[in-house]
Amino acid sequence: MTLPLSAYIGAGALLTGLLGGWTVRDWKADSDEAKAEQKAFTQYAAMTEALADQSLALEYTVQSLRAAERSDRETIREIYRNVQVPADCAVPDAAVSLLDNAIDRANAAATGKPVSALPDAP
């Protein structure tokens, strides 16, 4: 018993349709994967840039605080250089102001607020 020609043609068309569909689906999967990789790369680049900006801001804050710390140390040395220490060991007003400014800068840095590198005038 032989199959009619239309059965062979139908089977060939079905096989061609399945293989064509498989190929098109493979192309779509590759396209979706490429889009996902591009999206992931874009997000990675954005996050890296954001972290770099935060790191740079932290470095500026640290440099500002270090400069203020050096300035404070020199100012304290100048304040106490020629001062006769009384028996009750009172702290001069200029030193109190300087220490208050240092505390304010440290608290501002801890909360993320802008930090002034220059102390207030005593």
Question: Is 122 contained in some domain?
Answer: no
**Do 46 and 86 touch, CB atoms closer than 8 A?**
no
**Do 68 and 102 touch, CB atoms closer than 8 A?**
yes
Question: Is 51 contained in some domain?
Answer: yes
Per-residue pLDDT at 87 = 63
Report residue 19 as tokens: 């293989």
Task: Give how many domains the chain has, as a whole number.
Answer: 1
- Length of the chain in residues, anyone? 122
Structural domain of 72? 5-111
Q: What is the pTM of this model?
A: 0.42
Residue pLDDT, tens place only, 5-38: 888 888 888 888 888 888 888 999 999 999 999 9
